[in-house]
Structure 1
């Protein structure tokens, strides 16, 4: 193993000391915008308040030269017809919060790769009627520029925790997105070269936003296994 890399498994830590490990995992995130810690496992990215944005970034960068598997729960609120806008799972060289509303805290982040969980149809962005998942780059929300998707999914705004796993295999250069136990998006390509200009070291986090319509939107940490850069 490369000496500059150490492996972190919060799943192992949770089995040894659940309360301490869960608390440590949440405390190791840098919060932006209106985001706040809810409890030992969950961060509220946005309350059900109009025109706000929030982000939570894990403060240690990862190295995309190594595989990872990140498992979290997403909560996208309880407002269906009146709810918006969604959560984006983001990889970015710095820890920032993008634009609110339809930008979901992702718009404006460059270079970046984002996995969108969109709960509101913006017709001018090529959104389908249904809630949907897509893999996007460079803070660009129009689906004409998406790397994968949009893929329609059943209603996400039911107040429940939605298990999400994002995995990366550098050997096959494949990114996979599993939501509610089903593969929802997959992309194969040289992310390091084509998205991040040869830089393999990035931060990961979650962003969310509201506009005129709103929802509380949370991310809850379950299992993080990946290579950290010292």
Structure 2
């Protein structure tokens, strides 16, 4: 039973499978803190907080990548903000937080945002939503998918997220609570990362005048580990 509660990471490297059960292989920034063997709290329920967690092993996007996590967006609805963003970037560097969702200003990059606050000047819809954006542009005129509206996320519950990259079909799928909420059919290695398949992934969250705690609980990672030149 303990095995299924622990963090499971599978590395597909030279045909060999490896597993680990520690969130300590994430590089934490800002307000991010480890809660337990599975979970990281990115922000506490306070104003003007920001936190990030980067997985320290690079991934190879020329092979498939699968991420299964649970997200918690706090309990404040009308008074809550801002959400959680996933960032893919060739180096472990976080972009502008807050409305930038941790990927704003990063080039080249791919960001998947779960936004719980409406920023009118970014063309946000009134409800919680998800969008995929590239090259650090948070305004939805630059979104390559979305914004797609979601049910209320700020309910204090864990929301199961599954992200899958298929390099053969050139398809990135995003499922939340068992439903597909975003999809991108594009050669992201060539079109976004200029032919470089080696990237890091991280997750970030932020609050402003409105606030919420934001948690991520890692369930399963399946990927091919890439080599980074010294």
TM-score by length of 1: 0.90
Which consecutive unaligned segments of at least 5 residues does structure 2 have? Answer: 1-11
Question: 1:194 aligned to 2:194?
Answer: no
Distance 2:169 2:97 in 1: 35
The C-alpha deviation readout for 1:16-73, integer Å capped at 9, x for no partner, is xxxxx43x2x011111111110111000111112112111111000000001111000
Matched, 1:49 2:46: yes
The structure-2 alpha-carbon separation of the partners of 1:127 and 1:73, relative to structure 1 and needing over 3 Å to count, comes to same
Q: Residue 87 of structure 1 is aligned with which of 81, 84, 87? A: 84
Partner in structure 2 of residue 62 of structure 1: 59
Task: Verify: 1:213 aligned to 2:210, yes or no.
Answer: yes
Answer 1 or 2: which has greater helix percent. 1
Cα gap change, 1:182 to 1:9, in 2 (>3 Å): farther
Displacement of 1:6: 4.6
**Please, which of 144, 148, 151 is the counterpart of residue 154 of structure 1?**
151
Aligned with 1:5 (options 13, 16, 23): 13
Mark the runs of 5 or more structure 1 residues left unpaired by the alignment: 14-20
Partner in structure 2 of residue 102 of structure 1: 99
Runs of 4+ in 1 over 3 A off after TM superposition: 4-10
1: distance between equivalents of 2:14 and 2:76? Answer: 41
Aligned partner of 1:111 among 83, 108, 111: 108
For residues 17 and 175 of structure 2, what CA distance do their matches in structure 1 show? 19
Q: Does the Cα contact within 8 Å between 2:116 and 2:154 map onto a contact in 1?
A: yes
Moved more, 102-111 or 192-201: 102-111
TM-score of the superposed pair, with normalisation by structure 2: 0.90
Aligned residue pairs: how many? 216
After TM superposition, give the deviation of residue 8 of structure 1 in Å: 8.0
- In the TM superposition, residue 104 of structure 1 has moved relative to its aligned partner by 2.2
Residue 68 to residue 8, structure 1, CA distance change in 2 (3 Å): farther
Q: Is the 8 A contact 1:7 1:227 kept in 2?
A: no
Which residue of 104, 129, 132 maps to 1:132?
Answer: 129
Give the Å deviation of 1:7: 6.6
Determine the C-alpha separation between the residues in 2 that align with 1:59 and 1:8: 19
Q: Contact 1:9–1:223 (CA<8 Å) still a contact in 2?
A: no
